[in-house]
Amino acid sequence: MIDRKTAFKAAAVMIIASAAFSNGASAKQDPAPLQPSSSWNLNYAEKNCRLMRTFGEGDDKVVFAIEQALPGDHFSVIVAGRPLRSVYLKPTPEDVQIQFGPFEDASDATAVEGDLGEFKPAAIISMAKLGTLPFETEDRPDGYVAPGPFDIIGRTFPNDRAAQIEWFRIERRRRAVTLATGPMEKPVAALQKCMEDLVSTWGIDVAAHRELSRRVEPTNDPGNWIRSTDYPVSELWKGGQAIIKFRLTVNEKGLPVDCDVSGLTDSAEFAEISCDRLKKRARFEPALDVDGKPIASVYLGTVRFQMPR
């Protein structure tokens, strides 16, 4: 499980905290949930896994995608189609609420407007999860460090709660689009299998990463790994933005020796700058296997290049 993902806001550098959870108010205009118009489809891509399904018919058709490039409980969500016009998104980040209901709480999230081929507009949410994770409900003192062993490949969200999900909703300013997803335990299990297959191509000891005694830990401030001065000038002038999911391979000495990215952007410059700066500036304590021996591992995170609102 990855319970601390690193994210950066490069136009005005800061660490973006995890989304806070709250109970969402009911939408002012909440039409009936759109019913499925296709089966779930799982795409095994080179760098990510994408779970997709369509809902509604004709002009009301919506594409719903859950995309995952890094293991754990977090994923990206894309909701695309004409009904999203009612949510009034913009290319700049907007605050929204999402919920896998009816039993999971609504969560605050950030969405940007894009498109998914012929399906426009699209709400792109870079950090989402099915609901409150088990460790998030524990009362822990400040500075608490969870004891090992650590499984950085598996999920912690319980299958029985995923089985109780009936719908997904995105809401902004009391206007919502709701999709009748039905139970999510089987789709999520298929997504997890895809992620495990993907991790097996990373060149690490997968079995050892099921029970690490220590994960890779930064020894310098992640907030300084990518700075506002690293924003690509050409993208700055045209208002370009990007969300980059990165994977650093960290050797037994704690040095990043390889970087791989996947991102919600069409610009290669964002990806190139991210990897260059991360490899130059990031330093770590290496991961330790169950016997305390240093092993090659990975550090996973997200870089957000974002223009000021």
Record the tokens describing residue 126, joined without a space.
């870079």
Return the CATH number at 255. Answer: 3.30.1150
Phi then psi for residue 288, to 5 deg, are: -120, 135
Domain final residue, candidates 175, 199, 223: 199
Asked if 144 and 237 sit in the same domain, the reply is: no
Asked if 179 and 216 sit in the same domain, the reply is: no
Asked if 183 and 49 sit in the same domain, the reply is: yes
22 within domain boundaries: no
Record the tokens describing residue 268, joined without a space.
């290669």
Predicted model pTM = 0.81
36 within domain boundaries: no
Are 116 and 78 within 8 A, CB to CB?
Answer: yes
3 within domain boundaries: no
Asked if 259 and 187 sit in the same domain, the reply is: no
The 8-class DSSP code of residue 91 comes to S
- Distance CA(43)–CA(45), nearest Å, equals 6
Asked if 135 and 95 sit in the same domain, the reply is: yes
Are 49 and 42 within 8 A, CB to CB?
Answer: yes
Say how far residue 29 (Cα) sits from the centre of its chain.
Answer: 28
Asked if 124 and 222 sit in the same domain, the reply is: no
| Residues spanned by the domain of 63 | 41-199
pLDDT tens for residues 148-185?
A: 688 889 899 999 999 999 999 999 988 999 999 999 99
Phi then psi for residue 97, to 5 deg, are: -120, 140
pLDDT by residue, tens only, the chain of 309 residues: 333 444 444 443 333 323 322 333 444 456 789 999 999 999 999 889 999 999 999 999 999 999 999 899 999 999 999 999 988 888 778 899 999 999 999 999 999 888 788 898 999 998 999 998 876 666 666 655 566 688 889 899 999 999 999 999 999 988 999 999 999 999 999 999 999 999 999 999 999 999 999 999 999 999 999 999 999 998 888 888 888 889 999 999 999 999 998 866 657 899 999 999 999 999 999 999 999 999 999 999 888 888 776
Are 199 and 153 within 8 A, CB to CB?
Answer: yes
Asked if 192 and 255 sit in the same domain, the reply is: no
* The residue type at 28: K
66 within domain boundaries: yes
Going by C-alpha positions, the residue among 168, 209, 185 that lies closest to residue 62 is 168
| Per-residue confidence (pLDDT) for residue 172, from 0 to 100 | 92
- Distance CA(94)–CA(164), nearest Å, equals 29
179 within domain boundaries: yes
130 within domain boundaries: yes
213 within domain boundaries: yes
Q: Please give the tally of structural domains in the chain.
A: 2
Asked if 91 and 135 sit in the same domain, the reply is: yes
Asked if 218 and 265 sit in the same domain, the reply is: yes
11 within domain boundaries: no
Are 309 and 15 within 8 A, CB to CB?
Answer: no
| Per-residue confidence (pLDDT) for residue 146, from 0 to 100 | 61
Asked if 133 and 252 sit in the same domain, the reply is: no
Domain final residue, candidates 199, 228, 245: 199
Show Cβ contacts of residue 231 under 8 Å, excluding neighbours closer than 6 positions: 10, 11, 305
Record the tokens describing residue 117, joined without a space.
């081929």
Domain final residue, candidates 199, 218, 252: 199
Asked if 68 and 160 sit in the same domain, the reply is: yes
- Distance CA(154)–CA(151), nearest Å, equals 6
Asked if 216 and 191 sit in the same domain, the reply is: no
